[in-house]
Amino acid sequence: MDKLPDLPNIKPELLDLPTPDKLAPVGDIGHPPRILLLYGSLRERSFSRFLTEEAARILEHFGAEVQIFDPTELPMVGSVPETHPKVVELRALCLWSEGQVWCSPERHGAVTAVIKNQIDWIPLEMGAIRPSQGRTLAVMQVCGGSQSFNVVNTLRLLGRWMRMFTIPNQSSVPMAYKEFDDAGRMRPSAYYDRVVDVMEELFKMTLLLRGRSDYLTDRYSERNERARKAIDRQIDKL
C-alpha cells in the first residue's frame, strides 16, 4: 500500500498498529494455567456440580491448576457488604484465574439464580483491576429433559459482557440424570467426549492468550479517554 488511508478522526500517537512481534510467544510464566470453575446448583445430587468436577479432572490431566468455587452460603448480590467472606473468596479466585468454566442447569429456559448470583458478584472493575477481562471462558449446561442451548447462549452473552474470551466449543448434556453414575462420575458417551473437547480447547486457548491479554484488551478508545483526562487535569492545575 503506497499511501495510508486518510483517517482525520484518529490520533496517530494513540493508535496501536498490531504486528506479529507484539504477539510473539511468551516465555515461561512460572505456573500452570489457572482455571476457576463455577456451577449453578445447591442440590446434594447436583448434576451441574458433577459435570464441573468432571471438567476439573480433565483440566488437571492436561496440567492445569484448578479451583472450584462452592456457592453455598454466598449471599444474594447487594444483600451484604463486599467484605463478606464468600464474596472476598470468589473475587480472589477470579483475580487468581487465567481461565474459567461456567456450568448451570437450565431452569425455566434460563440460567439458575445460583450461577447468575456468582457472576453478578464479579465486578467489571475493582479500582484499576478488571477481575474478568481477558480471561478465557468455557460454558456448559445440564438439562433435565431434551437437549437445549438456552443456558450456554445466555452464559456466552454474560461472558461477552464481562469482557472474556469465550471459546467457540461448548457442552450441553441432555437428560443428565442418565449420564452420571451413583458416585457422580460421568458415564462414557459422546457427551463425555464433547466435554473433553471443550476442556482441551479451553486449555489450548488459555495457553495461547495468557501473558498477552493485557495487550489484546488494550483499546484505542480507552487510551484516548485517558489522554483527554490527563489534559483536563493539567488544565485544572493552571
Instruction: Return per-residue pLDDT of the chain as tens, 238 residues.
Output: 456 577 777 787 877 777 888 777 777 788 999 999 999 999 999 999 999 999 999 999 999 999 999 999 999 999 999 999 999 999 999 999 999 999 999 999 999 999 999 999 999 888 778 889 999 999 999 999 999 999 999 999 999 999 999 999 999 999 999 999 999 999 999 999 999 999 999 999 999 998 887 877 878 888 888 888 888 788 888 7
pLDDT value, residue 1: 45
Where in the chain are the domains? 29-237
pLDDT value, residue 135: 95
Q: What is the 3-state secondary structure (H, E, C) of the chain?
A: CCCCCCCCCCCHHHCCCCCHHHHCCCCCCCCCCEEEEEECCCCCCCHHHHHHHHHHHHHHHHCCEEEECCCCCCCCCCCCCCCCHHHHHHHHHHHHCCEEEEEEECECCECCHHHHHHHHCCCCCECCECCCCCCEEEEEEECCCCCCCHHHHHHHHHHHHCCCEECCCCEEECCHHHCECCCCCECCCHHHHHHHHHHHHHHHHHHHHCCCHHHHCCCHHHHHHHHHHHHHHHHHHC
pLDDT value, residue 113: 97
CATH number for domain 29-237, candidates 3.90.1300.10, 3.40.50.360, 3.40.50.2300, 3.40.1550.10:
3.40.50.360
pLDDT value, residue 223: 85
pLDDT value, residue 35: 98
